[in-house]
Structure 1
Amino acid sequence: MTQPIDEAMLNAARAARRERIYRLVRPLEEFGSTEAASGIVIVIAVVLAMIAANTALSSYYDDFIHYHIAVDLGFFHLDTGLQHWVNDGLMVIFFFVVGMEIKREVVAGELAGGRKVWAPIAAAAGGMVVPVLIFFAIVDDPTARQGWAIPMATDIAIAVGVITIVGARVPAGLKVLLLALAIVDDIGAIAVIAVFYTEDINLTALGITVGLLVLVYLMNRNGIEPILLYVVVGLFAWTTAHESGIHPTILGVALGIMTPLQPLYRSTVMPDLIEALMRRIRVIEQEEDVERRHHDRVGALLTLSELSDRAISPLDRIEHRLLPWSAFLVVPLFAFANAGVDLRGGALEESMSSPLALGIGLGLLVGKPVGVTLATWIAVRLGAELPAGVTWLGIFAIGLVAGIGFTVALFVTELSFEAELLLTQAKVGIFIASVLAGVIGLGMLYAASARISQR
């Protein structure tokens, strides 16, 4: 009677272990698949926002995004619209996930070292520098030039969604290159936001924020595990960061990077621990006292569950739980709250002919692929290695796909301008360039994949 139970438990333990190992060794694949699905939701959110802003629903849309929410904690008071809460509050979650992904890639991923690391770094650098140069060559108005960082951005969610449409025909190396490029691009965008889009600094609030980050570090170092404690400290840090003048999303990145990547139990010791626990379970199943057998069995299985959890790093565990909320709630809500541009009354034609829209549009549509390809070519000439199966046509194609700017570009736009006219012009440039980059990039990905399959 105990043999089937032992066998079932062993099979369950093996299945659980395979699942845990899968989560440990395939985080990038899981991240990419979630981001791809999120890209579809983001596009839907953008379309809905544009419909709402350009129809009889526009007044309801404006009321929604400007609906005031007040929070008064005594030491902190903020009374602002929903759009601001999304941009400065909920987007911290998105950048927290980005920070964790950056840490994984730098510590244990494609950016961890070796000659292959230089190709995505160079590609991202070229994809940021060339669009900015094009922007400055076209835009000469000092106020409009405040948006110089807008064409630097890549929307990783939609970019991954586009490359996923082509499916398995796209070489795995090309997908990895795009993801690594986008991660480095995120690092660049975060650095720009931190340095160039920071308001006057309140040193007292900044000092408290740094102190709270040190507290989080010490909590990590001393193995303090309850997530609620980190949430409380993080919320306090957000209030002080908001008061300090730095953008609160930088706090999200910092907390993400500080999240431990090392599990408490290494995967190499897990088989021995599980086998020892299974031997204990076999002994328990021989117990004649039914109540005691049930009690001990539950205790052993709970221990098995705890062992499995401790074999997963805090970073992997938190990201696994938080990524769907970020991908399917936070970012689409951000897109809906910021993408609604009223193009009625000739605003579209006027915006399309503006230097600002042209500078952003050409920066994304032309600067990205040219910069990515040229910088990658230089890096390869200097000794960098490309992933297997990657061609120059494929690199140019992912450069185009990287020209899809939506989320981060819209985010930088909101930081850059207050005037409604400049906001409209910038968003029109982003939308048109992103759509064209996605369509043309998709076609070139098909062409590049066809060439590879013919070899």
Structure 2
Amino acid sequence: MTPTDQRQRERSVFLGLLPWTERTVVARALRTETTGGLVLLAAAVVALLWANIPTLNSTYEQIRDFHFGIPAFGLDLSVQHWTADGLLTIFFLVAGIELKRELVAGELRTPANAALPVVAAVCGMAVPAALYLATVWAGGGSAEGWAVPMATDIAFALAVLAVLNTHLPAALRAFLLTLAVVDDLGAILVIAVFFTADLNPAALVGAFAGLVVFYLLQRYRVRGWWWYVPLGLTIWALMYNGGVHATVAGVAMGLILRTNRDRQAGESASPGERAEHLLRPISAGIAVPLFALFAAGVSISLPALGEVFTQPEPLGVVLGLVVGKTAGIFAGTYLAARFTRARLNPDLAWADVFALAVLAGIGFTVALLIGELAFPDPAEAVHIKAAVLIGSLLAAGLAALLIKRRNVVYRRLWEAENLDEDADGIPDIYSRQSQPSTSSDRDTVD
């Protein structure tokens, strides 16, 4: 069998062994996200306690609603808005870099490889939205929150896996990461198209011009943070004042950053790699937890919890996350595998894909953000936030039961993937087969 035939065969196996280079990149990203996810869980718990202890909840509200900034630039925002519009831009910038890397060197670089995760992610966004709309239509509610149950929170999901102490194979974790990356792109498109304020054409033209300059700096290999940081802040401020949610600026800049190394220019790491290395810990350990701290502070009471399951809007969110996400991702994956003739890894079962689909129902960070945009009235937003919390917890609990049930199988596969008897730093399973090169190993002139 020729190397080309071997690569074709490997690509036809769904959830098979990842190439070593790709697995190294994915493992590094997941390690940071897992740690950040644990911090995120802690921040969410602190927010709930802070908002529900009678002697402290007034302090929470005062800090959350405190305004500061530069009014002359239209940036006099509350602490909550600074975390949502400012710090989350870092999160979406990292998401943009991840998406660019997937398109250039990862699972999305060819149509054949991209079909499964993209179809699964799209179905995982469309079915929850449709289920939400059906629920509010039957109950006479508002359709404004249709996008709330669409997104997967990769950090929260990985934190659940860390708490469970599972040994999920690298391919399953990578598939979950790819789903979340496509989810993030869908979420930012929804935010940009459907949740915009009154547009300011002059500011938007300025933001677009800034992005063009950003691209030219990348094109001509200009290095130095003193170019990019002021330019990035300017683009962000113009995007915010233009009426488009400021996090769109983060994704746009992430997609512009090069993720391939230019060896002719003497680069040991691409700009995207350097930016991700610097910003991912800030995103996972600071930006997202602080957003959660000031977004998840929901006053919980028995009547409020009851309204989550009796009012159509929050009920639609819960059903969308728990039922819609599971059904959409599993059905999309199964159908895509059948039509692309992909062969499921014989060491795994479709029950593993189903468990992963349930886990993807955790929609914490982006769901809370879209909930705030869709329901600006605090009285309405409280029930939506409570629904996001409950739906995410239900999805996490169900996924925990399903994954723990298969953890013996996962441990065996994990041990086989990581066995390194010759102590050369590369698992033995990779030394027994030739690995296809990825585009990240090649010179680039993009």
Could you tell me the TM-score, scaled by structure 2's length? 0.83
1:406 aligned to 2:364? yes
Equivalent residue number for residue 293 of structure 2: 336
2:44 aligned residue (39, 43, 46): 46
Residue 121 of structure 1: how far off its partner (Å): 1.0
Amino acid at match of 1:259: L
Amino acid at match of 1:436: L
Separation in 2 of the partners of 1:23 and 1:313? 15
Separation in 2 of the partners of 1:453 and 1:52? 38
Query: Higher mean Cα deviation, 77-86 or 111-120?
Result: 111-120
Equivalent residue number for residue 78 of structure 1: 75
Alignment of 1:54-453 (within 5 A): 54-55=52-53, 56-72=55-71, 74=72, 76-113=73-110, 115-140=112-137, 144-165=142-163, 169-265=167-263, 310-344=267-301, 346-383=303-340, 385=342, 388=345, 389-450=347-408
SS of 1:346's partner is helix
SS of 2:75's partner is strand
Equivalent residue number for residue 418 of structure 2: none
Amino acid at match of 1:372: I
Maintained 8 Å contact 1:391/1:448: no
Equivalent residue number for residue 282 of structure 1: none
Equivalent residue number for residue 17 of structure 1: none
Query: Higher mean Cα deviation, 216-225 or 105-114?
Result: 105-114
**CA 1:158–1:68 in 2, change beyond 3 Å: closer, same or farther?**
same
Separation in 2 of the partners of 1:391 and 1:214? 47
Number of equivalenced pairs: 391
Residue 70 of structure 1: how far off its partner (Å): 2.6
C-alpha RMSD of matched pairs (Å): 2.2
Amino acid at match of 1:61: Y
Maintained 8 Å contact 1:24/1:312: no
**CA 1:386–1:177 in 2, change beyond 3 Å: closer, same or farther?**
farther
Separation in 2 of the partners of 1:208 and 1:452? 51
Could you tell me the TM-score, scaled by structure 1's length? 0.81
Residue 86 of structure 1: how far off its partner (Å): 1.1
Separation in 2 of the partners of 1:114 and 1:390? 24
**CA 1:173–1:145 in 2, change beyond 3 Å: closer, same or farther?**
same
Amino acid at match of 1:447: R
- What does the per-residue CA deviation read over 1:134-173, in whole Å, with 9 as the maximum and x for residues that have no partner? 1011113787311100010110101122234555632222
Same amino acid, percent of matched pairs? 38
Residue 115 of structure 1: how far off its partner (Å): 2.7
Residue 23 of structure 1: how far off its partner (Å): 9.0
Separation in 1 of the partners of 2:411 and 2:244? 49
Equivalent residue number for residue 33 of structure 2: 35
- What does the per-residue CA deviation read over 1:359-391, in whole Å, with 9 as the maximum and x for residues that have no partner? 000110011111111111110110153663442
SS of 1:224's partner is coil
**CA 1:325–1:386 in 2, change beyond 3 Å: closer, same or farther?**
farther
Amino acid at match of 1:332: P
Equivalent residue number for residue 290 of structure 1: none
Maintained 8 Å contact 2:204/2:242: yes
Separation in 1 of the partners of 2:166 and 2:306? 40
Separation in 2 of the partners of 1:439 and 1:156? 16
Separation in 2 of the partners of 1:237 and 1:453? 46
**CA 1:452–1:70 in 2, change beyond 3 Å: closer, same or farther?**
closer
Separation in 2 of the partners of 1:128 and 1:25? 26
Maintained 8 Å contact 2:236/2:249: yes
- Structure 2: segments with no counterpart, 5+ residues: 1-19, 414-446
Separation in 2 of the partners of 1:216 and 1:254? 10
- What does the per-residue CA deviation read over 1:205-238, in whole Å, with 9 as the maximum and x for residues that have no partner? 1111101100111111111101121111111111
Separation in 1 of the partners of 2:79 and 2:396? 30
**CA 1:390–1:204 in 2, change beyond 3 Å: closer, same or farther?**
farther
**CA 1:142–1:30 in 2, change beyond 3 Å: closer, same or farther?**
farther
Equivalent residue number for residue 434 of structure 2: none
Maintained 8 Å contact 2:89/2:250: yes
SS of 2:263's partner is coil
Separation in 2 of the partners of 1:179 and 1:166? 18
SS of 1:169's partner is coil
**CA 1:168–1:142 in 2, change beyond 3 Å: closer, same or farther?**
closer
- Structure 1: segments with no counterpart, 5+ residues: 1-21, 270-306
Separation in 1 of the partners of 2:118 and 2:341? 10
Q: Which has the larger radius of gyration?
A: 1
Separation in 2 of the partners of 1:257 and 1:143? 37
Separation in 2 of the partners of 1:142 and 1:250? 32
Separation in 1 of the partners of 2:376 and 2:150? 20
- What does the per-residue CA deviation read over 1:84-143, in whole Å, with 9 as the maximum and x for residues that have no partner? 111111111111111001101111011111533211111111111111111011113787
Residue 435 of structure 1: how far off its partner (Å): 0.7
Amino acid at match of 2:174: V
Separation in 2 of the partners of 1:163 and 1:387? 22
**CA 1:190–1:218 in 2, change beyond 3 Å: closer, same or farther?**
same
Maintained 8 Å contact 2:151/2:187: yes
Residue 51 of structure 1: how far off its partner (Å): 0.6
Residue 351 of structure 1: how far off its partner (Å): 3.2
**CA 1:355–1:378 in 2, change beyond 3 Å: closer, same or farther?**
same
